[in-house]
A and B are shown apart, each in its own frame.
Chain A
Amino acid sequence: MTSPMVVIDRVTKSYGEVPVLRDINLEVAAGEVISLIGPSGSGKSTLLRCINHLERIQSGSITVAGELIGYRRVGNLAYEMPEKLIARQRARIGMVFQNFNLFGHMTALENVIEAPVQVLGIPRREAVERAGEILARVGLGDKLHTYPRMLSGGQQQRVAIARALAMKPRLILFDEPTSALDPELVGEVLDVMRALAAEGMTMMVVTHEMSFAREVCHRIAFMEAGRIVECGTPREVLDNSAFERTRAFLSKVH
């Protein structure tokens, strides 16, 4: 049994007085694809943002590949790490956003090589070659020199996934990757994610695409009001949930 990729242990987080995450416990195995579902405001995005320390948690701990995220542990004290070290941890955790967030002043290729060259120090020539391969893999081999605003939403999101992949991440966090897309463009992005799942990438996916969750995800976690209400296989959660809250939510989504 390999050690889990992500361990979220008794995590709480609040904005001022308002609790957003309450006592979250979750383990994600290496190669596992887990989807987070739940009503708006339940804390799904916040949880993802805590995993790469874009947000601070107030208590508990988050570990990715055995490394405590954001802090250095000495006995029972956890000192927040300097920005450089946090950046180094983030470099190995991919993140894909609802609004793509491609760098608007850079072509697709430049978007993909930016972090490998600037952050990992990979020689430009090598980075360009690898970026070409990755973009071809997501079906954009002919769009290398196109700026984001000239790409469709689906194409932009695939560039964003390529940009995350170029950092050779151990884990990719997806925050509603298809919510901003026209319905006919959703499929092309989900296809790329399906292929990644098949290759054994560890992925945490916040989504409203129940068919994707059912087909591709190994487990589904249902969140509400900052808690994980239940977590199980798609069958357990989507078809035979023991929880009234889950069934109520699902009946609204379908």
Chain B
Amino acid sequence: MTVLEAHSNSVADHRPSEEPRLTYVPAKAWGTRIAAVALLLVVVSFLWSIASNPNFGWTVVGEYLFDPRILSGLYLTLWLTLVTMVIGIVLGTVFAVMSMSGNVVIATIANAYIWFFRGTPVLVQLIFWYNLGALFPELSIGIPFTSLWISVPTNTAISPVMAAVLGLGLNEGAYMSEIIRSGLLAVDPGQRQAAKSLGMTSGRALWRIVLPQAMPIIVPPTGNQAIGMLKTSSLVSVIALSDLLYSVQTIYSRNYQTIPLLIVACLWYLLATTVFSLIQARVERHFGRSSLQASQARRARQ
């Protein structure tokens, strides 16, 4: 008798036994449970020591939480973050595509931009744009070799807000372009070829086929960048703009309630971060539809 026959016989011949069925008891991970409880105790007592400590000045926090000066600082922070992120994403897409161009000059220019703006402190860039008037007293645009030129004094064209938008936006563009480039590279080149073979131009293939599939890779780090920008934008205080952090600083420099006012700022930053994270999760879900169907089907089969 061969092994194979023996095997198939034994399967065919096996009779269900008469013994009662086993009841399975999952292992209790006691170590993990104890650690969880201990951690919870530490966290609760820590929070309690903060909440019950009069030195934190919770009444002052309550007083200033909705102070109009702070709210207008919050507004500037949110506005700057949104505007510079939009600029960053648009510039980032353009420079990502340029840096992947077959033309050496175009690719080199894009890479030089990325190199420069990632390589210098954003604080310096802000101060530079703010002081542009000292370097170029007049800004002119027009058509070369003709008399069609318009000139304006730099200091009227570049207001502090403009300088902030330029400084933060151009800097963000350099970081975003690396994020977007990595997303574009992750899409199989076969996708672009299939799109071209169907008669799409490379622009349409990028927009309809490649970018949407790069989004799941692009979105999470972009969310990170946006949350980072909430706080990076507080650098604009060096060019006399009153963002959230700067407005609490102005207040506590007069009333010396430093800690409570910093807590006010942190509460608003935390709230904004929470909202941004929720938006990010939403966007991620939107671009993950095709994998969502797969995972739902997998769950249904189980």
Contact = CB atoms under 8 A, between A and B. Distances in A.
Interface of A: 52, 54, 83-84, 87-95, 97, 99, 101-106, 114-115, 118-120, 146-150, 160, 163-164, 167
A115 B199 contact: yes
B47 interface: no
A97 B190 contact: yes
B208 interface: yes
Contact of A52 (B197, B204, B297): B197
Given A90-B196, A147-B294, A83 B201 contact: yes
Query: 4 smallest A-B Cβ distances: which pairs?
Result: A91-B199, A101-B194, A115-B198, A95-B197
Contacts of B201: 83-84, 87
B290 interface: yes
A103 B209 contact: yes
Contacts of A118: 200, 204, 208
Contact of B198 (A104, A147, A149, A163): A163
Given A104-B213, A105-B289, A149-B294, A83 B202 contact: yes
Q: Helix, strand, loop or mixed for chain A's interface?
A: mixed
Nearest to B188: A101
Interface in B271-302: 287, 289-291, 293-294, 297
B291 A101 contact: no
B250 interface: no
B102 to A, nearest CB: 12
A115 B205 CA distance: 10
Contacts of B291: 149
Nearest to B215: A105
A208 B161 CA distance: 66
B216 to A, nearest CB: 9
Contacts of A147: 289-290, 293-294
B191 interface: yes
A150 B294 contact: yes
A148 B289 CA distance: 12
Nearest to B212: A105
A150 B291 CA distance: 9
Contact of B200 (A97, A115, A146): A115
Given A119-B199, A150-B293, 9 more contacts: A83-B202, A89-B199, A90-B199, A101-B193, A103-B195, A104-B290, A105-B290, A118-B204, A149-B291
A185 to B, nearest CB: 19
A148 B294 CA distance: 10
Contacts of A102: 194
B205 to A, nearest CB: 9
Interface in B176-225: 188, 190-191, 193-202, 204, 208-209, 212-213
A97 to B, nearest CB: 6
Given A147-B293, A147-B294, A87 B193 contact: no
A103 B191 contact: yes
Contacts of A164: 198
Contacts of A163: 198
29 contacts: A52-B197, A54-B196, A87-B196, A87-B200, A88-B199, A90-B197, A91-B198, A94-B197, A95-B197, A101-B190, A101-B191, A101-B193, A103-B195, A103-B209, A105-B213, A106-B290, A114-B208, A115-B198, A118-B200, A119-B198, A119-B199, A119-B204, A146-B293, A147-B290, A149-B294, A150-B293, A150-B294, A150-B297, A163-B198
A133 to B, nearest CB: 18
Contacts of A119: 198-200, 204
